[in-house]
Amino acid sequence: MTRRTHTYSPDGPWNHTAAVFCHVINSRLTKQTTARDLKALEQTCQVMSKLCRQVVLVGNFDYLPESLIGLPHISDNIINKGPIGCLEALLSSGIDTEYLITPCDVGVKNPAIFRLLTEFHVKSPAILAYPRLDPTLPVQIPDMIDIVDQPLICKYSVEALTKVREQIIKNDLSMHRMAQMAEATKVVVPLELIYGPQYDAMEAATFNPN
């Protein structure tokens, strides 16, 4: 996958759809619905609503906060396939041609992180990747910082639908492999968006697009 780095430029809302995957709602909440998990879903939808022209919920679920009941809902076409089943349902829905995607419990509150995927020069498909610092080291060495892929925070267009269905037919439900098969661009989140502006200099040295 191609790796890119970007700076955040706060433009207006992206003229496409945000999709929140709710595949964990059934598996985790049908036995015991917790206020924390539903609050995380609500917060995720609030963040996405600031970035895109509309928000849709994807997946089969029984519980929603009252504030989200009016949102469009896309049910899985093929059940029990996890997030890749949500992706198939979304791309085949006809609601839009391109989507910014996140799981319902991602916990990302900074819209600038999501907006990295909606910049005009980031083509679909694309996934986010996070730098992970080692707290046990007194000094962080830029070339040794781990980059961790987050294939559930991504952008896909309808052109990927055929490959998604091929993965499902093979019963390969890994979103990591889906990103690889689709040759997704990997967008690395700048360190200052995660750890603060004190990492500006390290960010410049760490993430070399070449």
Residue 205 token pair: 């040295």
Residue spans per domain, the chain: 3-127+148-190
Please identify which residue in the block is written with the tokens 């496409």.
16
Closest to 18 (Cα-Cα) out of 79, 100, 80, 83: 100
Digitized pLDDT (tens) for each residue of the chain, 210 residues in all: 544 443 334 456 899 999 999 865 555 544 455 677 788 888 899 999 999 999 999 988 777 778 888 899 999 999 889 999 999 999 999 999 999 999 987 767 688 899 999 987 889 999 999 887 766 666 665 566 788 899 999 999 999 999 999 999 999 999 999 999 999 999 998 877 876 665 544 443 443 333
Give the pTM. Answer: 0.81
CA–CA dist 110, 31 (Å, integer): 31
CA–CA dist 187, 3 (Å, integer): 6
**Are the C-beta atoms of residues 37 and 11 closer than 8 Å to each other?**
no
In a 13 Å sphere around the CA of 184, the CA atoms on its Cβ side amount to 29
> Domain spanning 3-127+148-190 has what CATH number?
3.90.550.10
CA–CA dist 173, 67 (Å, integer): 31
Residue 204: what pLDDT? 39
**Are the C-beta atoms of residues 128 and 116 closer than 8 Å to each other?**
yes
How is residue 208 annotated by DSSP? Answer: -
